[in-house]
Structure 1
Amino acid sequence: MARKPPKGYFVRGQFVAYGSAEDAHWRRAAKGDVDISKTDRKKQSAYVQQLGQRLLELPAAVLRTLALQEALLQALEEARRLGDFEARRRQLQYVGRLMRSLDDAQIAAIEAALAQPHAPRAEDAARQRLAQSWCTRLLDDDDALLAWRDLEPQADWQRLRTLIRQARKDAAASAASEPTGAATSRARRELLRHLQQVLQQRAADAAAPFPIT
């Protein structure tokens, strides 16, 4: 019978097997017990921040099984409640700071929960909500297009502006009970579909997170 490949992760392009001496080194590094590079510390921080954001994907019943500190649970609840983009971003940064106080066992429990079958569906739902939020911002605020540039630097800006302009016109016509109201859905759906595709591609292209467990 073929042997199963060892489990582990990559650090600076090198494979680190779980339970190895290198694994023990990086576990200590994650706790600050050994000196590591500034770049690796940034990777650790980004990974923990990402885990904190992904906790929003988990159902409340699953969160309760993780024995998280009350301050973190309250911070997550507040992040769910916030609708303002900037306020939510700041709240998620706070969640990330709280996440850095968790120990290895708690991080491992979170990773295990996110690896369960419900996690991908929750992630898709979260991305859908984000796309909906961006769609609303783009239709309501001209400055939002400048903010979107950070997510899609190579966008076809003429096409995006055309979609936004048409969706606004159709929305106004629909509100006035004009027959062209049906076009509202088409224009907005096309814009929303584009936003979803960009967000999905960004998620697929994201670098593998730096594991600390």
Structure 2
Amino acid sequence: MRGRDEDSGEFLGPSRSQQRRSALDVLALGQQLVALSPGQLDKLPIPDGLRPHIAETQRITSPIARKRQLAFLAKQMRREDDDTLDAIRDALDAGGEASRRETAILHRAEAWRERLLAEGDSALAELLTDHPDADRQRLRQLIRNAGEERAKNKPPHSYRELFRELRDLFEGSGMENRESGIEDGE
């Protein structure tokens, strides 16, 4: 019999149910890839042979044709090594973590900006103890200018620049500062 061990009678390959589950997993991965933007796709380790199929699937708008093209994409993806597909899955998971980390940095910078404008020098002193490499004079100037812009209802140039400075400061700092400062800023 084909697919069975002649001595023990056990099946040699994966069961049909297992093959179906793995095919559905690849189809789900294909759906995730099609939902991404071109910039996000560029960050993933996708083989060059799959990129045109992904682009073609994204281009199609008819539901039936898109479903058929997605099935074809999954078929092409199943031809790839398991290591390649696992690398794509890992990169997608890492992208989610990176996105959460970036969002946390943005929230932290926003909270610190509001705190600096409300509390002034005391909040600045606390920020500088956590980040001694920050430019004290530049931050103080931006805080003063942002306060004046608010008071005079001017466009928020310094307000935005202060946010950028804080974001760059938090992105450049170590992970231990990032974690301790999130609680401080909220």
Do they fold alike, i.e. is TM over 0.5?
no
Higher relative CO (Cα under 8 Å, sequence separation at least 6) belongs to: 1
Structure number with larger C-alpha Rg: 2
Question: Which range, TM-score by smaller chain?
Answer: 0.3 to 0.5
Identify the structure with the greater helix proportion: 2
TM-score by length of 1: 0.37
